[in-house]
């Protein structure tokens, strides 16, 4: 029997050696050519018999990547690969077409990476080909082709969510980077083991093993994992994101103990790692003494579990808890706090104007129902947009900040304003009103539909704010895929944001409905509607144009309201107050015209230019270096290592209201300018939200601006990351902690 096995083994070695010697060179096994045909680039592989090419390993890039559309791949055959699991492969021939979009480039340098194997079981290393192609004759696809290309992109993204395919990296990371492990003694009788799992990876719940030499451990409360239908083990529990396990110690025999941890995980790309083992020496502190943390024996850099988390990560960690009631209550509180931010203020005149503009008497009950419908529509929109952002890594609200959308929505508010002024009445067509009346015997249904639509549009267009609670929930959804808890948290947070709106909407119904008083109230809300329209246009027009519109609004509106009319012989007290307020507003408008005449200035300080102080105030601002891509950032981070300077990176966009608040009150603060003078200040303008912007934001898990990141020695100090608004003093405190 031994002789038979030995002869069989030797014959297999001989066969494999002979086969390996007959392997074709890579260029013959996978003959690659690229050419331009009409308005697209065709990538052609002639694959030798007995060889196959991985579909997922084909990566296409170019020096002018913005001119490339979405590549169209032929249908691949599914192979149960021993290395990558179920993957798509090509045999014989494969042709990939890449549309070329309209642009100014006359040539393009294309870089194509691919990898394949022989049926014998030998895989080639990744191959990269660079090809220079002449595209000067291409005038770009038609509008129909562009629309189809956009539709194809949307379908691909939707399919990726349904199939839960999230390819981000080309190759799997080393195990110590995929599952960054650390352990520390948080007191004399307790250890804290921590796994910082990369977003594309997961750990198996039942593969953990923990042992301690020199002590014993008590009951360990291990967090509950998420259920995954694993191709290897069936339905199993897994852990993603941050995993912390508290380990109580008993029967401690010595202050120096040895901690052993075993665990196993996989990459979403299909590669599973062998079981990992870490043996760590830990010196336990004496009761009440300073804690000494321990690191794994492989000298890798680890995150200490006792390090302070930034506000966003704290909120993401909150969602990991099992107490759902506490989670939802916390997010409702977050919403109440966010209701005080500038992103929610424009909702007040929108909802109030809708209620005031209703025909006939509006009871408190009806106003309350309309307010609830508005807030529910807004909340549902925030939740759905948040879940999509968590899966796709892109804020849906950003897509609605394009100029044409903002212009159209501004015109809607202008139309609503003029209806408030009594020029016309906006209502549903009579045929639609009659159908709704047949169902409910009232016309409230039509009004509620309009209110819901306005709540939906307001959530998407009016308030694209990124705050720590929103960012924390999106990070949680992206890392765990738990759209139910993440979406429910966002829904409850939105209800908290809308709670004051419901109270205000119900209070508006208490205003007197009859007489000239109500006309003046409607005029006021009409003016507020115009203010919202200008506020939206601020994101896409120049500062001077915006200043002209505000000056016109503040100077003309009081005249239209009768601020210059003569008082009657016996004016009422409220009429005198109303007239005085109108005159003050008109005076402010005149001051704004003075700023227009001087070429611009700060609306909140229209007299700041007098006395020659304007030049000095303009200089009091952080001097930013503009960057666009990750490569720009890396170049500066390398230089900062040599100089020892702290690098601050600010993500900004013209449509981000909170970003402009930071520009005005933080980056123009004298103290902030002074402390940042010796450091490096970078700003990434992501207004365009193009592919380069998305890559830069996704690198740091940024859903949208505002976001401020700090780097020291070339690495981000994540615990000092700032998401959303902050005041000048808070900014300085974060910076001092980085230094």
Q: What is the DSSP string of 314-333?
A: HHHHHTTSS-HHHHHHHHHH
Q: Is residue 148 part of a domain?
A: yes
Q: What are phi and psi of 542, to 5 degrees?
A: -70, 160
- For residue 167, is pLDDT > 50? no
338 & 455 share domain: yes
Q: Residue 267 maps to which CATH number?
A: 2.60.40.1250
Q: Residue 704 maps to which CATH number?
A: 3.40.30.10
Which range of 64-68, 301-305, 660-664 scores highest in mean pLDDT? It is 660-664
Q: What is the pLDDT of residue 433?
A: 44
150 & 260 share domain: no
271 & 354 share domain: no
Q: Is the peptide bond before 706 cis (omega within 30 degrees of 0)?
A: yes
Mean pLDDT of the chain: 75
Question: Taking the alpha carbons of 713, 718, 720, 726 in that order, is the dihedral positive or negative?
Answer: positive
pLDDT tens for residues 221-240? 778 888 887 665 667 888 88
Q: Measure the CA–CA gap between 577 and 678, rounded to whole angstroms.
A: 52
pLDDT tens for residues 53-110? 988 888 888 776 566 777 888 888 888 766 666 778 899 999 988 888 766 677 788 8
Q: Is residue 7 part of a domain?
A: no
The structure tokens listed for 616 are 């000095």
Q: Is residue 407 part of a domain?
A: yes
- Chosen domain end from 599, 618, 637: 618
454 & 373 share domain: yes
Q: Is residue 372 part of a domain?
A: yes
Q: Helices 347-356 & 444-457, crossing angle to 10 degrees? A: 170
461 & 341 share domain: yes
- Chosen domain end from 276, 307, 338: 307
568 & 483 share domain: no
Q: What is the pLDDT of residue 308?
A: 56
Q: What is the pLDDT of residue 441?
A: 40
Q: What are phi and psi of 377, to 5 degrees?
A: -65, -40
Q: What are phi and psi of 360, to 5 degrees?
A: 85, -170
Q: Is residue 563 part of a domain?
A: yes
Q: Is residue 12 part of a domain?
A: no
330 & 281 share domain: no
124 & 220 share domain: no
pTM of the model: 0.51
Q: List CB contacts of 22: < 8 A, sequence separation 6 or more.
A: none
Q: Is residue 2 part of a domain?
A: no
Q: What is the pLDDT of residue 651?
A: 93
575 & 700 share domain: no
409 & 494 share domain: yes
The residue range of the domain holding 726 is 620-738
The structure tokens listed for 263 are 């665990």
The total number of structural domains that make up the chain? 5
416 & 432 share domain: yes
Q: What is the pLDDT of residue 293?
A: 40
Strand ranges (DSSP E) for 251-397? 256-263, 265-267, 276-283, 293-294
The DSSP bridge pattern shows strands 226-230 and 276-283 to be: unpaired
355 & 222 share domain: no
Q: Is residue 99 part of a domain?
A: yes
- Chosen domain end from 131, 162, 193: 162
């Amino acid at each position: 029997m031994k002789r038979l096995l030995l002869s069989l083994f030797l014959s297999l070695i001989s066969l494999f050696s002979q086969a390996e010697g007959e392997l074709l060179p890579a260029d013959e096994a996978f003959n690659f050519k690229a050419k331009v045909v009409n308005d697209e680039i065709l990538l052609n592989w002639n694959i030798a018999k007995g060889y196959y090419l991985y579909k997922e390993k084909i990566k296409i890039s170019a020096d002018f990547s913005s001119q490339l559309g979405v590549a169209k791949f032929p249908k691949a055959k599914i192979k149960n690969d021993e290395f990558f699991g179920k993957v798509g492969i090509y045999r014989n021939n494969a042709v990939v077409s890449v549309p070329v979009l309209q642009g100014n480039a006359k040539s393009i340098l294309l870089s194509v990476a691919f990898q394949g194997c022989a049926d014998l079981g030998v895989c080639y290393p990744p191959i990269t080909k660079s090809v220079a192609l002449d595209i000067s004759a291409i005038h770009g696809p038609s509008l129909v082709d562009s629309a189809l290309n956009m539709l194809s992109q949307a379908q691909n993204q939707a399919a990726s969510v349904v199939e839960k395919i999230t390819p981000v990296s080309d190759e799997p990371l080393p195990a110590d980077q995929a599952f960054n492990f650390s352990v520390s003694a948080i007191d004399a009788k307790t250890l804290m083991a921590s796994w910082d799992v990369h977003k594309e990876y997961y750990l198996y719940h039942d593969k953990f093993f923990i042992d301690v030499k020199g002590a014993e451990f008590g009951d360990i409360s291990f967090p509950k994992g998420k259920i995954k239908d694993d191709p290897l083990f069936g339905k199993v529990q897994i852990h993603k994101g941050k995993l912390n396990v508290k380990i109580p110690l008993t029967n401690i025999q010595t202050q120096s103990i040895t901690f052993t941890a075993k665990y196993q995980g996989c990459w979403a790309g299909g590669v599973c790692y062998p079981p990992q083992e870490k043996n760590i020496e830990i010196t336990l502190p004496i009761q009440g003494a300073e804690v000494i943390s321990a690191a794994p024996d492989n000298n890798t850099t680890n995150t200490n579990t006792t390090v302070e988390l930034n506000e966003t990560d704290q909120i993401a960690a909150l969602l990991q808890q099992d107490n759902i009631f506490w989670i939802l209550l916390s997010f409702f509180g977050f919403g109440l706090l966010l209701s005080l931010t500038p992103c929610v203020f424009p909702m007040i005149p929108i909802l109030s104007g809708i209620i005031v503009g209703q025909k006939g008497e509006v009871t408190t009950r009806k106003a309350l129902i309309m307010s609830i419908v508005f807030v529910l529509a807004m909340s549902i929109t925030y939740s759905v947009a948040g879940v999509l952002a968590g899966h796709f890594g892109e804020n849906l609200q950003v897509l609605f900040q394009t100029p044409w959308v903002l212009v159209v929505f501004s015109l809607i508010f202008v139309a609503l304003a003029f209806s408030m002024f009594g020029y016309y009445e906006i209502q549903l067509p009579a045929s639609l009103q009659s159908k709704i009346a047949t169902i409910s015997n009232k016309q409230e249904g039509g009004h509620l539909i309009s209110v819901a639509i306005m709540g939906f549009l307001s959530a998407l267009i009016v308030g694209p704010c990124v705050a720590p609670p929103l960012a924390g929930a999106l990070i949680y959804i992206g890392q765990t895929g738990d759209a139910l808890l993440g979406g429910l948290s966002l829904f409850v947070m939105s209800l908290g944001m809308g709670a004051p709106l419901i109270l205000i909407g119900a209070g508006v119904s208490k205003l007197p409905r009859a007489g000239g008083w109500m006309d003046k109230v409607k005029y006021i809300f009409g003016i507020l509607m115009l203010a919202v329209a200008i506020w939206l246009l601020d994101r896409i027009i120049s500062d001077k144009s915006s200043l002209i519109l505000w000056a016109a609004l503040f100077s003309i509106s009081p005249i239209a309201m009768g601020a210059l009319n003569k008082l009657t012989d016996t004016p009422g007290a409220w009429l005198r107050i109303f007239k005085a307020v109108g005159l003050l507003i008109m005076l402010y408008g005149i001051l704004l015209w003075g700023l227009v005449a001087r070429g611009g200035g700060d609306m909140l300080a229209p007299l700041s230019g007098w006395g020659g102080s304007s030049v000095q105030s303009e200089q009091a601002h952080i001097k930013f270096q503009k960057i666009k891509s990750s490569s720009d950032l890396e170049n500066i981070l390398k230089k900062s290592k040599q100089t020892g300077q702290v690098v601050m990176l600010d993500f900004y966009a013209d449509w981000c209201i909170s970003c402009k608040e930071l520009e005005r009150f933080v980056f123009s603060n004298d103290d902030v300018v002074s402390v940042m003078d010796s450091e490096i200040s970078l700003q990434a303008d992501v207004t365009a939200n193009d592919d380069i912007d998305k890559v830069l934001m996704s690198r740091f898990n940024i859903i949208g601006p505002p976001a401020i990141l700090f780097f020291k020695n070339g690495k981000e100090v994540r615990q000092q990351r700032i998401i959303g608004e902050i005041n000048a003093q808070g900014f300085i405190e974060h910076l001092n902690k980085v230094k």
